[in-house]
Amino acid sequence: MAERDFLVDFAALSRIGATEHGGVDREAATPADGAARRWLLEWFDRYGLGTAVDPVGNMYGLVEWLPGAPFVLVGSHLDSQPTAGRFDGAYGVLAAVHAVAVAREAVSAGALVPRANLAVVNWFNEEGSRFSPSLMGSGVYTGKLDLAATLAVTDRDGVGVGEALADIGFAGSDPMPPAAAYAEIHIEQGRVLQDTGTTIGVVTSNWAARKYTVTVRGEQSHTGATHLADRRDALVGASRLVLAVRELAERFGRDQLLGSVGRFTVRPNSPVVVPAEVTLAVDLRSADPDVLGKAHELFLAEVDAVTAAGEVSAHVDAMSARPSSRYPSSGIELAEAAARRAGLPTRRMVTMAGHDSVNLNDVVSTVMLFVPSDQGISHSEAEHTEDADLLAGVRVLTEVTTALLTASHPGGLAG
79 or 155, CB closer to Zn ion?
A: 79
Half-sphere exposure (Cβ direction) of 231: Cα atoms closer than 13 Å: 15
194 or 256, CB closer to Zn ion?
A: 194
Cβ density class 83-105: b for 16+ within 10 Å, e for less: bbbbbbbbbbbbbbbbbbbbbbe
Looking at residue 381, the DSSP 8-state letter turns out to be: T
88 or 155, CB closer to Zn ion?
A: 88
Looking at residue 228, the DSSP 8-state letter turns out to be: G
- What is the nearest approach in angstroms of Zn ion to the Cβ of residue 179? 19
51 or 189, CB closer to Zn ion?
A: 189
Tell me how far apart the alpha carbons of residues 80 and 125 are, in angstroms, rounded to a whole number.
Answer: 8
- What is the nearest approach in angstroms of Zn ion to the Cβ of residue 77? 6
> Under DSSP, is residue 320 helix (H, G, I), strand (E, B) or coil?
strand
* Cα dihedral 94, 96, 97, 98 in deg (nearest 10): 90
Tell me how far apart the alpha carbons of residues 256 and 13 are, in angstroms, rounded to a whole number.
Answer: 37
Helix 90-108 crosses helix 31-46 at what angle (to 10 degrees)? Answer: 10
90 or 200, CB closer to Zn ion?
A: 90
- What is the nearest approach in angstroms of Zn ion to the Cβ of residue 357? 10
88 or 233, CB closer to Zn ion?
A: 88
The burial class, CB within 10 Å (0-12 / 13-18 / 19+), for 131 is buried
78 or 303, CB closer to Zn ion?
A: 78
Q: Which of 2, 357, 308 is nearest to 185 (CA)?
A: 357
Given the rule CB under 5 A, which residues bind Zn ion? 88-89
Residue whose C-beta lies closest to Zn ion? 89
Q: Which of 39, 346, 50, 46 is nearest to 188 (CA)?
A: 346
